[in-house]
């Protein structure tokens, strides 16, 4: 999968994926974030289905404990815009930062979101499975509301 952009905007392509499933995966990643190393203390999400855009404001906190050092609290605030776009190879997700952050921190945040989208997309049937189900009359569709993922 191709990543492109600068410090404030990154894109990941999902060639061959169903755009409706990519949207559902985006919405699930926005509304039900899964972190193993952070606590989500605020997660404001606004989804515009017609505009294929999701706005996220997220606060993350954690206590870091390292041998020989006093524990320290770390906090991160994110204001991100996700947009579903159509490209020649299929759907893609663009993530843009609404705040000024270092390229490294932005990359970590977007990688996390892209990975959550991929995990959710893996829960949908592949295009070949969906076509086979359609030809046999069975249903492989899922609900319109994305389900939360379990933490690994």
The whole-angstrom separation of Cα 40 and Cα 148 is 14
Residue 137 domain-assigned (yes or no): no
**What residues does 83 pair with on adjacent strands?**
53, 94
Q: How many CB atoms lie within 10 A of CB 92?
A: 22
Residue 141 domain-assigned (yes or no): no
Over its length of 152 residues, how does the chain's per-residue pLDDT go in tens digits? 444 444 579 999 999 899 999 999 999 999 999 999 999 999 999 999 999 999 999 999 999 999 999 999 999 999 999 999 998 889 999 999 988 778 888 898 999 999 999 999 999 886 655 555 555 665 544 445 555 555 44
- Number of structural domains the chain divides into: 1
Residue 108 domain-assigned (yes or no): yes
Q: What range does the domain containing 37 cover?
A: 3-131
Residue 152 domain-assigned (yes or no): no
Residue 136 domain-assigned (yes or no): no
Residue 53 domain-assigned (yes or no): yes
CATH number at residue 44: 3.30.310.80
């Amino acid at each position: 999968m191709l990543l492109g952009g600068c410090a404030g905007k990154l894109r990941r392509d999902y060639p061959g994926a169903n755009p409706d499933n990519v949207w559902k995966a985006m919405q699930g990643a926005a509304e039900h974030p899964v972190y193993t190393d952070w606590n989500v203390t605020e997660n404001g999400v606004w989804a515009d289905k017609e505009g294929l855009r999701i706005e996220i404001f997220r606060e993350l906190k954690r206590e870091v404990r390292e041998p020989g050092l006093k524990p320290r609290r770390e906090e991160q605030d994110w204001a991100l815009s996700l947009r579903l776009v159509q490209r020649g190879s299929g759907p893609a997700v663009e993530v843009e930062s609404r705040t000024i952050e270092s390229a490294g921190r932005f990359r970590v945040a977007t990688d996390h979101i892209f990975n959550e989208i991929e995990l959710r997309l893996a829960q949908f049937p592949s295009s070949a499975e969906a076509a086979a189900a359609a030809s046999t009359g069975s249903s492989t569709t899922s609900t319109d509301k994305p389900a939360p993922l379990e933490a690994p």
